[in-house]
Chains A and B, each alone.
Chain A
Amino acid sequence: MRRRALVLVALGVCLSAGAGAQVVNWPTENPPRPLPSRPVSFPPYELRTLPNGMQVIVVMHHEQPEVTMRILVRGGAAYDPPGKAGTAALVGSLLHQGTTTRTAQAIADAIDSIGGALDSGAGGDHSSATVLVMKDSFDVGMDMLADVVRRPAFAPEEIERQRRQTAQSLDVSLEDPGFIAGAVMNRLIYGFHPYGFPDSGMPETIARITREDLREFHRRYFAPNNSILAIVGDVTADEAMAAAARVFGDWPRQAVQPPTLPDPPKPTRRIVVIDKPESVQTAVRIGQLAIPRKTPEYMNFDQAIRILGGEGSNRLFRVLRSERGLTYSASADMNTMLLAGDVVAETDTRTEATGEAVRVIVDEFTRLQRERVGDAELAGAQAYMTGSFPLTIETPGAIARQVVNAVFYDLSLDELRTYRQRANAVTPDDVLRVARAYVQPDRLSIVMVGNAAAFKDQLAKAGFGSYELIPLSNLDLSAANLKKR
């Protein structure tokens, strides 16, 4: 007993000295030097175009006996017809729910029985279908991919099934604070631009979509000259190209006319509190309109936002989690799309800390725009970006994703090769310039989803006393004021 107490005292002394080492003779030393490094460059890939205009990317990788094929069609939720948000998503989910030659059940049975996987869907800018098969089923997989992309049946009973599931899933999502906060933030940033609505649509817009709308969307945008096909894995380039020509070669080219869309509104400060009284935490999202993917300033702005809240740096994480213990995670992300983009900082914090967290995040946006980033901090962010480059080319899927991305957003393929040089070329002045050009701290929109009564007093103290309060049951994502009538 006595001995134990003594040990504790000794340990206490040790702790106050700042170390709790249990091993007595452990050396004090500096980190070891690295071994010689191996040169690394972007791996080889093939990019060819079929006579009908389909772009085909092949990445060969022979270690594991599998092949993944993914087709990306230019046209997603942003091209939904007005008032019919959810059209692209419904088309996407229906691609593998029956074709003119196979039922939904036959497709499921065929892919599952060969130990494959098949999925399809839509994002804001694109629709897609992906098939994964073992090497010996490559041809079968290519046939299925072409079938679901070219010949979806849009059978009425499948439409109703997907429509019901989408609407019901959306109802569940509308109880999830993270989903609600993200959806409201998108509306504040993009207004009535299609990027402002959930890709899935909303209950009333999903209800309006007809079979003809789905067929029309498919007819308009699903064309070889509007598509990118990536074939990745245990095949040769010749095998892949031959298979692509076999299943897509007779798909006729057609003129594709994207719709004309309104510009998103200019940033304005709007603070919205969605009241969900049983919440034990507040979901906080703070953001504004920023830049689309294809912009000369992309790399500069990317680094600014990484310093604010990205991997390898992240001021928000440091202050909110490491220093104050207010959250499990805090980050800021650029979301850059074809037509526009945004930057959103997010965290989830206990109700009592809501005002403090919001203040910290807004202040960090401000600091980014007022203070020149230190050389060491910027060098750290760049070291992460350049150092992690070999991690981004580990799997054939990851390689293909980068090539597809470059082709999709019409970037120079050279950018894949020059990534590290471009990252290292950014200076503190560049970061300050883009932060001043694109960040407007007094126009940041703020969304909080939580127990409003418990944190409203904190908001006034933190300088955010003026806000719109909307009970969750009264939220309407379609309305300008976000409220049900």
Chain B
Amino acid sequence: MNQLLTVVAFVAALTVAPLDAAVRPPHLQYEIMTLPNGLTVVLSPDHSTPIVHVELWYHVGSKDEKTGRTGFAHLFEHMMFKGSKNVEPEEHASMLASIGGQSNAYTNDDATVFWQTLPSQYLPLVLWMEADRMATLRIDKATFENEREVVKEERRLRVDNQPFGRLSEILYDTFYTVSPYKHTTIGSMKDLDSASVEDVRDFHRSFYIPGNATMAIVGDFDMAQAKELETKYFARVPTSDRVIPREYAREKPSVAERRIIVNENWPLPAVIVAYPITYDGHPDSYPLHLTSKILSDGDSSRIYRSLVYEKQIALSAFGSGNIIEEPNLFFAVALVAPGRTHDEVEKALVAEFDKLRTEPITERELQRAKNQFFRDYIVDRESIRGKASQLAHAVVIHRDVTTADGEVEIFTNMKVSDLQRVAKTYFTPQNRLVLKILPKTAGSR
């Protein structure tokens, strides 16, 4: 009796009690400068540990690839470890390792990022090496061909040989006709095979130039000394008069819902419901970010609770916006639980999007989403790498470094009505793609 009352009281408290506003992340301290050759540098000191993180963003990703050369931006990223005038092949990574540093790189749709974390006294070394490969990359046919095989293995490992590995590829290829996001970053085997050494050379000249690069340095350094080193090693990289085309094809608005079924040899059927949305930094992108939290952050989020926990029709399910530089998709994916049908999963997913349009979310849900967002900022900023990524992202994708902190204010001011407004704008039936990926033969392994 007593126990039951406690539970009732607790639930009642949950439904009525307003939530406190969140703890906010402290502001980042930084300076930003641009060298005469166009290189942008953001410097943020943090002396808590004698290490420094340097990341160099080149504003080129898979959306900048030419027809017939999908996967090239990423393949090129690999070539950046193959030596330059003063650095032998593979030496960039091995020199860093020999001082206890860590380094790697990644490519996404919009950018290619080279990063290294190292003991802070070696800051000159890493700046010198990054400048060397920006200015004088070695391009060698045998190395290129070897590296292409490595990338093909990477594709097999991550995409072709993984259950559900081709999910994004199928979704984007199905959804888009002309968007630069029609293909994914890893590219196709055929295009990788078509790439040539001349493509490598041309790509380096076109995109790996100071005016297309942003460096973030965060960690234990002296501001004046770091600026001096930056100038010493990078100012001598010549500027380029090449103009980078930033015109991307945009899809025509959809006129009716599309429903598509494809077959793949996967262990379980998958249902995807997708809608086109706007780009990162558009006023609508902020409510869409919060909508992702409401649908899929934590066990109390709507899609998990409905499809996985309560109805138990999905083994796993989530929905979120892929909010990047050019308009992309908001999509939900559910793996259909054995014994359940893809039709009931589709209905449940679509119902979640419809509900966002037809009913306002609660104030409590909104505050929860904001709190989760601030948590992500704060946890990310525990590491110098996290801080550097936030700063560089603000510069490269938002073209405004102040958004690294400024977005917190924007999120704070979001209202319930903002979320419903964007839901009505984007989650409409005629915008919708329902994509079902069903096993080739029922019950087969």
Contacts and interface: CB of A to CB of B under 8 A. Distances in A.
Interface of A: 8, 11, 15, 18-23, 26, 28-38, 40, 61, 63-66, 101-117, 132, 134-136, 161, 164-165, 168-169, 171-172, 174-177, 278-281, 283, 311-313, 321-329, 348-350, 380, 383-391, 393-397, 472-473
Nearest to A313: B97
B347 interface: no
A32 B42 CA distance: 22
A418 B367 CA distance: 47
13 contacts: A15-B140, A18-B138, A21-B85, A22-B135, A38-B50, A164-B312, A171-B338, A312-B97, A326-B153, A380-B94, A383-B98, A387-B119, A391-B102
Given A65-B23, A65-B378, A326-B153, A384 B237 contact: no
B364 interface: yes
Given A26-B135, A112-B297, 14 more contacts: A15-B139, A22-B137, A35-B122, A40-B49, A63-B48, A113-B300, A113-B371, A114-B371, A172-B267, A175-B266, A280-B156, A312-B100, A325-B148, A390-B100
B163 interface: yes
B7 interface: yes
A384 B140 contact: no
A42 to B, nearest CB: 11
List 10 A-B pairs, minimum CB-CB distance, nearest first.
A387-B100, A115-B371, A325-B149, A108-B299, A388-B100, A112-B298, A21-B136, A20-B139, A328-B154, A32-B124
A183 B371 CA distance: 39
Contacts, number: 273
A384 B96 CA distance: 9
Contact of B49 (A110, A329, A387, A393): A393
B140 A18 contact: yes
Contacts of A132: 375, 379
B163 A115 contact: no
A278 B315 CA distance: 24
Given A388-B101, A391-B51, A169 B315 contact: yes
A105 B374 CA distance: 23
A387 B337 CA distance: 48
Contacts of A280: 156, 160-161
Looking at chain A's contact residues, is the secondary structure mostly helix, strand, loop, or mixed? mixed
B100 A389 contact: yes
B253 interface: no
Contacts of B50: 37-38, 40, 390
Contact of A112 (B51, B101, B146, B299): B299
B218 to A, nearest CB: 11
B375 A136 contact: no
Contacts of B383: 394-395
A175 B201 CA distance: 40
A15 B154 CA distance: 27
A384 B97 contact: yes
A61 B139 CA distance: 46
A117 B298 contact: yes
A134 B376 CA distance: 11
A109 B51 contact: no
B23 A390 contact: no
Contacts of A23: 135-136, 237-238
B123 to A, nearest CB: 7
